[in-house]
Structure 1
């Protein structure tokens, strides 16, 4: 029988991986992007960087940048209370890192924070989850450990969704056509190895043969291990799927979301013609 702790871990890991996939490739330009005046962000301070903060924030609350949101997620995951409110003690290596001043440092801080949170969550037993948290939790003294674990997971999930949305806003505001750049010779496979998979994700089927001719590999995958063949099979794009197979697509590769191979995608998304074709190759 699956324990409550394991169910919480499974939910946490799912939410975490979704967030981690969404921030892959984050640039400093995105990290510090302020789409409006008066944003809360992360700024240079006397000793490194500091995040905007106030006990009583302005109303309505300021729009917060990716720098602020990612720093906030890291802070809440590794906060001392995610140990002490469960009746446990932090370990010496759980010290919070400095506020990250770059996208690269932010992803490192995020990874570090999640490792701390996951270790603390995995250490909980049923008694920890059932027990009222007591005086240390202030106004939440009567709430049990499960309610607090769910609160942290809610924070991870909803702030993670915000991060993904801001990245979408940034992409829309800084639209580019990497496929046109590649066809013009301004982008090479060394610059962007997974561009052919990106074209499939964008359902730009018409450029895939041209990208393959330019040396973009058919078996390179997106951040969640999805290849162009997965996407062609899952959308029922049979002509593209045939082209990929004829040009060496590895149909045994599995993605990180469904752990399914290419035919598995065709079956999952009910693309009968694609599934039948794949059964013959």
Structure 2
């Protein structure tokens, strides 16, 4: 049997596959509640094996990422730029001492890089942001290996962004599943008296009511939890972790033997937000 880990590394599972699976989970539970033979006959296991073998789960994860990336420009427009860029600006959210320390580290380590002055930033914000973005790109390369907090926060951002991207479809499929279940129950009550109506509702299998509850809870989560502010929180946390790596890199460089300073980039880690 083909394993999911054959198609997805840790980042891809959390940031790409899990959002897609969360979207299909409620309607899948609804289908299984109404048609339990899919599980009892091992058809579900067979279908999962076929789905993995045919790359359908990979396609689901790739689609979720595409939906997330499609909304990223709108998010950045609302935020005013990448969180790391905003934090590296003069008079940004970082305290002056921390900002100066990060600027000094980047100036001393990023080749051919100079910190824009406050006057330069004020006169041409776009150009200054480009300079900050160049430093962040260098920093991302230096933290691709050996920085678990950076990797964790990056995956968290990707997970939330991709969930927001598929949110409209998640709402639609959960709503459809809930309505379909309720309609199927009501269809059994046509023309019945009160006693018979109660019998229909009381005789419904617990799995059906559980599936309806899952659909409704999922709808509440899509509306109440998955939103732009939720994604922004993860983006800020990733930006904080990435910029804090300046201090870690500085400490590693200070303790490394001559000629061994710096870090080696990994081929597997990813960065989605700057």
With the length of structure 1 as denominator, give the TM-score of the two structures.
Answer: 0.26
Q: Pick the structure with greater CA Rg.
A: 2
Structure having the higher helix fraction is 2
